[in-house]
Structures are given as structure tokens and as C-alpha cells.
Chains A and B, each alone.
Chain A
């Protein structure tokens, strides 16, 4: 019998890693392994995504457990950063520098020649604005220059904290293409976002974080399936809620209704169908409707569902 080849070591790993800021919990008991390719870190604001990435890039030391990046403790061994590119979430720059000088300086600290920095500037589409001071840049340009400093040294691991913030659709597309390009070349990309469809567009594998805990790890399809099983709630206000409830129960996807003081709470697995068909139904039946609102479309609600499930 031919022995199966040993599993390659993960690019990054968390073993029961935790981080506290005094009494505030940043991350609790995180155990995950991240391999090559694009991995998305998904969670609502305050879920612990930034703490996760700061631990991964050695900016923070775990209060408990162990974090490894390319086989070493990134906090203790800064030399690992020669192979890592990091795009921070915060909008922080040496504002008086030009975009080109900024990237050249930071690439220089990685040991890269100026030509590589200039290439990165071109790659993110800032060649024409490269000599302008950063303080004159738009939000999207600021994101691009942050990206340029992260990729200038062609890192083996690219860590991106909310990279699409402030970018227009074209720039988003370019950013996603760039990530795919890194993936094709065998690099590891770890990208965080609090927007579900962004993560879906960028990644194959998803780590779900909520309230400082890793709630789920899986492929895009697995996570989507998990979320699709979650019935959405819609509240419809009307002076005739009983009549309205009867009409709503006939709509496709509606799995239940609940009456509450002039409102009907609708549980549906297909919210789009409810929004599409409701106006026609109420017109046909002559039912007055005062308002419609989605009750739990936020990620918080979806994650809340996942937690209680």
C-alpha cells in the first residue's frame, strides 16, 4: 500500500487563540487553519475580524493560545513580514507624502527596489496620480495606494482588512481580479468584510466570525446554504391585519405569519417574492397598507440566527 503524502502545513493557523483588551473580548478560542487560495473573513462590525487579522500579522500577541503564520509566531518573528503584505482597515497615511513616495518608502522597508514600488503603483491604476500628495486623494485612491504598498514586494501571503471600502464598482472589480491573480500564482489571500455578497464575490472559503468567536468555516456554497435556510422576517403594517395575513399566507415562500397590534410579521424563505407580489395582492383585495419593513436583513440578524440554530 502506498502511503498517502503528508498534508502540507497550513499557511496560517490559530490554535485556541484568544485576545482580550482589558475586559473587552476581541477573539475567543479561535481554532482554524488557512491554506493557499482566497479565504474570506466574514462578520458584522465588532465581530473580531480586525483582531483576527492583527493577531495574524503579529501586531497583537494572543492573550491565550497560539497563532502561526508561515510556520512561525508572527509577533515574535517580524522577519516573516518579508513574505506578507498587509492592507490595514484604518485610513492612516503619511499625508504629506506623494502616493509614489509612500509606496517606495514602505516597499524599501521590505527590501524592494523602487522599480517594484512603481510597478505596484501602476498595477493599482495610480500611475497618473502617483506624484500627487496623498492628502489630495479620494477615498478610492487611498484604498488603492494602501493596496499598492501591500503588494509591491509580491508577498506570499496577502492580508486585506476591508479592502473594498470606499471603492467604486470598477475599482472593486479590479481589486477582486487582483486577488484572483494572486490566488492563481499560488499565494494566500485573506480578506475581511462585513458584506456578504462582497465576500461571495471574492472568496472560495469563508470563516464566519460573530461576537469574537469563529462560528463556521466552510466553502462559499456551504455558507450560502446555511444562510438561505434562514427564514427572513418582514413586517407589514395595516389597519386590517387579519385580512392582510390571510392574503400573505398564500404568497410563495411564506412559511408563517404572526399578528401584532396593527402589524403582520411574515416569515418567508423568499423575501424577494413577497416584495414583488405584495403590491398587486393588496390592490386586488383593496387592503390598506401603511408600511413595509424588513426586520432582520442585517448580518447581525443572520449571525444571530446561526448562533441560536
Chain B
């Protein structure tokens, strides 16, 4: 037997099918993100602040039932309707309004840009991994972090709601609201994942992708308010992805959310326009992402 053949040992394993390849990419990306100290700190702060603070207020509502002094203290926090749903939705308002953009900029915007910068894409695509696996893997990694902010606290709150509920059957009774609340969170996850990855695919420098996303969020919020005010046409509010999700949340959830001024202004935006705006922003992110990733082999 020739020596070169004798020394060659064929690999006898089996390649993973596509969905697992995407999972592998997602897991690796999550691990890499978590190696960055500022990401770890912010994710930890998000979880502690959003879940912990909400839990404290929730605990106050339980102990304060019937005690006007505790009720007064809670009102000082800005919670007029002292119930779990109000807290949940206030949480949503705080989370999605600003921190979702910040988190998306930290964990979503850099993921494709850093691969492009490191010329790592040929390494992915020289394996039996399709563009869809790659995009799916990156999307799952961004969605994982965003879900920590937008969905996990809701699950925690629901757990506390059931644990401390006076009435039997509260788990079932509150289930529809909980599911609607989670649906709003999932809409936020989908929107910010799509936008952040779309932006990420446009840049080679992760930092620029992050800044662009943050700048875009700030710009669209301010500009949409300005135009809606100057032109006296609330439809312009749909220019802001945040306003669209917020308006949909108002429609989906049966309790007031956010500050009353914001809610009143947003209610002028038609729900149809809000859904259209939401769909347009999500689709735009996906469109840009698909277009850029398909061109990746040419670019690199």
C-alpha cells in the first residue's frame, strides 16, 4: 500500500443537518458576545433591573393591598393601576423604548459586521452551511439576548403572579393576558433582530453598525414626532419602529401602558398604519440582510 494512502484516515462522522448547524452558529455567537465584558454587564443589568425592580414593585402591590400608605408609595413610582399587568406593561414600555435599541446595538449589530471584518465568512461558506443557516444562526443569537430583555421578565412576572395569587385558577385566568404580553415581546424581538442584523450586514466595522443602529433609532423617534407635530398628521409616527410596536402593544393589551401622554399621542396613530409600519421595518431589515448575505462571497 502506498505510504500516502496508508497515512490517510478518512473521517467517519456525519455532517450535522442544517437546523443544527444554525444552532451551532447561534451558540458560538452567543458565547463570543458573552466574552465581551460590557455585554455581560449590560445583560446582567437588564435582567436584574427589569426583573428585579418589577418583582419588588409587584411584591409591594401584594403587601400593600388594602394599605393606603403602601398604595401611595406605589403611586409615587408612577403606577396608577396597581396590578401585575400594569407593571408588566410599564416594564415593556421602559424596555422596548430605549434599552432594546441599546441591546440590539450591542448584541445584534456587530454579529455579521465582525465576521465580515475578520474575513470569516469564507470559513463558514466553505463548509456545508447555507446562507439561510448562517442568517438563522446569527438571528437566533441576537433573538436570544433580546428575549432576555423582552420576554423572560414577563415569564418571571407570570410565575410570581401565579405564586402569589389569592384566587384559585389565576394561572388560567391570566393566561390570555400573559400570552398577549409575550406576543408583544416576541414582536419586539423579531423587529429588533431583523433591524440589527440588516444594519450589521451593511458594515464591516461592528462599532459603526452599532452606532448606525442607535443613531437610526434616535433619528427616527425624533423625526417622526417632529413631522407628526409640524404636519399635524399622526401617520408620520409610523416612521419610528418603536412607535409602531408601542401602538400595537396598546391595541393588544387590555390595560394602559406607558405614560398617559405618550399613550394618548400614540393612540392617534391608526392601528392599521402601525401594523403596516411594523411589517415594513421588519421586512426592510430582512430584505437588506438577505441581499447583503447573498452577495457575501463577492464582497469578501
- A interface residues with partner B (beta carbon < 8 Å): 289-293
Contacts of B7 in A (CB 8 A): 291, 293
Contacts of A289 in B (CB 8 A): 3
Counting chain A CB atoms within 10 Å of each CB, the highest count among B1, B3, B6 belongs to B3
Instruction: State in angstroms the CA–CA spacing of A290 and B6 once bound together.
Output: 6
Residues of A within 8 A of B6 (CB): 290-291
Cα–Cα, bound, A289→B1 (Å): 8
7 contacts between A and B (CB under 8 A): A289-B3, A290-B1, A291-B3, A291-B6, A291-B7, A292-B3, A293-B7
Residues on A with C-beta less than 8 A from B1 are 290
Expressed in whole angstroms, the Cα–Cα distance for A291 and B3 within the complex equals 5
Contact residues in B for A291 (Cβ distance below 8 Å): 3, 6-7
With A and B bound together, what is the CA distance between A35 and B27 in angstroms?
54
Kindly state the separation between the CA atoms of A245 and B138 in the bound complex, as whole angstroms. 56
Shortest Cβ distance from B171 into chain A, in angstroms? Answer: 53
Q: A175 to B7, alpha carbons, bound, how many Å? A: 38
Q: Which residue of A lies closest to B7 (CB)?
A: A291
Identify whether the interface residues of B are mostly helix, strand, loop, or mixed: helix
Q: How far is the CA of A293 from the CA of B1 in the complex (A)?
A: 16
Complex Cα distance, B6 from A238, in Å, reads 11
Given A290-B6, A291-B3, A291-B6, 5 new contacts (CB under 8 A): A289-B3, A290-B1, A291-B7, A292-B3, A293-B7
A-B contact count (CB 8 A): 8
In the complex, what residues of B have CB within 8 A of residue A290's CB? Answer: 1, 6
- Interface residues in B1-55 by Cβ distance below 8 A to A read 1, 3, 6-7
CB distance from B14 to the nearest CB of A (A): 27
6 nearest A-B pairs in the assembled complex, by CB-CB distance = A291-B7, A291-B6, A290-B6, A291-B3, A292-B3, A289-B3
Query: How far apart are B298's CB and chain A's nearest CB, in angstroms?
Result: 13
Chain A residues within an 8 Å CB radius of B3: 289, 291-292
Task: Give Cα A289–Cα B7 distance, bound, in whole angstroms.
Answer: 11
How far in angstroms is the closest Cβ of chain B from A11?
A: 38
Query: How far, in Å, is A301 (CB) from chain B's closest CB?
Result: 19
Assembled-state Cα–Cα distance A293/B3 (Å): 10
User: Across the two chains, which residue of chain A brings its CB closest to B4?
Assistant: A291
Interface centre among A289, A290, A291, A293 (most CB of B within 10 A): A291
Residues on B with beta carbons closer than 8 Å to the beta carbon of A293: 7
Q: How far is the CB of A145 from chain B (nearest CB, A)?
A: 19
Q: Determine how close the nearest CB of chain B comes to the CB of A29; give it in whole angstroms.
A: 34
Q: How far is the CA of A230 from the CA of B227 in the complex (A)?
A: 80
* Alpha-carbon gap, A13 to B7, bound state (A): 48
A139 to chain B, nearest CB (A): 13
Closest beta carbon of chain A to B89's beta carbon, Å: 48
**Measured between alpha carbons, how far is A48 from B173 in the docked complex, in Å?**
69
Given the complex of chains A and B, what is the CA–CA distance between A293 and B7 in angstroms?
A: 9
The CA of A293 and the CA of B6, in the complex, are separated in Å by: 12
Task: For residue B267, give the distance in angstroms from its CB to the closest CB of chain A.
Answer: 50
User: What is the chain B residue whose CB lies nearest that of A278?
Assistant: B3
Closest Cβ–Cβ distance, residue A244 to chain B (whole Å): 14
Tell me the smallest distance from the CB of A268 to a CB of chain B, in Å.
18
In the bound complex, what is the Cα–Cα distance between A290 and B8 (angstroms)? 11
Bound Cα distance A291, B9 (Å): 12
How near does chain A come to B129, taking the closest CB pair, in angstroms? 26
How far does the Cβ of B200 sit from chain A's closest Cβ, in whole Å?
21
Closest A residue to B1 using CB positions:
A290
Cα separation A292 to B5 with both chains bound (whole Å): 11
A291 to B4, alpha carbons, bound, how many Å? 8
CA distance A293 to B4 in the complex (A): 10
- Shortest A252–chain B CB gap in Å is 21
Tell me the smallest distance from the CB of B122 to a CB of chain A, in Å.
15
Chain B minimum-CB-distance residue to A288: B1
Set of chain B residues within 8 Å of A292, measured between Cβ atoms:
3
The CA of A291 and the CA of B6, in the complex, are separated in Å by 6
A290 to B4, CA, bound (A): 9
Q: Select from chain B the residue with minimum beta-carbon distance to A237.
A: B6
CA distance A292 to B1 in the complex (A): 12
Q: Output the least CB separation between A60 and chain B (Å).
A: 24
CB distance from A240 to the nearest CB of B (A): 15
A289-B3 Cα distance, complex, nearest whole Å: 8
Q: Which residue of A has the minimal Cβ distance to B8?
A: A291
Q: Give, as a whole number of angstroms, the nearest-CB distance from B131 to chain A.
A: 24
Q: How far, in Å, is B283 (CB) from chain A's closest CB?
A: 33
Cα distance A292–B2 in the bound complex, in angstroms: 11
Cα distance A242–B1 in the bound complex, in angstroms: 20
